[in-house]
Amino acid sequence: MRISIIGATGDMGYGLALRLARLGHDICIGSRQLEKAQEAAQKAREEAGCDNITGLDNVAACQDRDLIIISVPAAGHRPTLQALKDVIGDTPVLDVTIPMAFNPLRYDPPAEGSNALEVVAVLGENAKVAAGFHTVSASMLCNLSKTVAGDLLVVGNDDDTVEKVLALGTEIGLRGFHAGGLNHASTLEALTPMIIGMNKRYKRGHIGIGLTGI
């Protein structure tokens, strides 16, 4: 699959780039600055031990792709989407971002109620959007010496896009579940600050979510 990760210079996006590239997917790391994208791609190629990772500016990275992953800081979420709206078009989007505030650490969603719903608000009601990976440890994904484990919850407004994301999660090593529509995205996004806080409290780095009874 041809996958672009916008914001793969951060831990979650970078970890996904490493894992998906090692599975044979064609990965493009996008950044506002071409030089940063190329540096991240070079580092990822060396770390993953494969050459199917390229770095381009965000606009070029969104062209001719099967899936676009948005993994940018909350402050840059809306501006990034606004800048890329025309080039993204009808390409399926996976949003893994979390709107958080600090001191104290807490969930701080935009007016739409979640970052995933903000994607639809910016890209348009026909956008194919899924949200997920909020309960998966970014540090676990980045550490290629670790086996990926845990449950992946994905929500979305297009079942085909959700199933595509779940299939990628299965390839990585996660057990995936379709968790409903985008109206549930706020629930998933809000779990991240809680998990970060638990990791700090219990001095762990890979706390995630596991479902029982299924």
Per-residue pLDDT tens digits for 72-124: 999 999 999 999 999 999 999 999 999 999 999 999 999 999 999 999 999 99
Give the pLDDT of residue 206. Answer: 86
Q: What is the DSSP string of 1-22?
A: -EEEEETTTSHHHHHHHHHHHH
Cβ neighbors of 97 (< 8 A, separation 6 or more) are 7, 70, 71, 72, 73, 74, 77, 115, 189
Instruction: Indicate the pairing of strand 53-57 with strand 26-31.
Output: parallel
Instruction: Indicate the pairing of strand 106-107 with strand 100-101.
Output: antiparallel
pLDDT (mean) for 111-138: 97
Q: What is the DSSP string of 144-171?
A: TTSPP-SEEEEEES-HHHHHHHHHHHHH
Q: How confident is the model at residue 53 (pLDDT cuts 50, 70, 90)?
A: very high
The answer, yes or no, to whether residue 9 has pLDDT greater than 80, is: no
DSSP letter at 113 equals: S
What domains are there in the chain, each with its CATH number? Answer: 2-201 (3.40.50.720)
Give the pLDDT of residue 214. Answer: 85
- Length of the chain in terms of residues written: 214
Distance CA 143, CA 129 (A): 28
Burial of 107 (0-12, 13-18, 19+ CB in 10 A): middle
Mean pLDDT over the full length of the chain: 96
Of the given ranges (21-25, 67-71, 199-203), which has the lowest mean pLDDT? 199-203
Give the pLDDT of residue 10. Answer: 82
Instruction: Indicate the pairing of strand 2-6 with strand 67-70.
Output: parallel
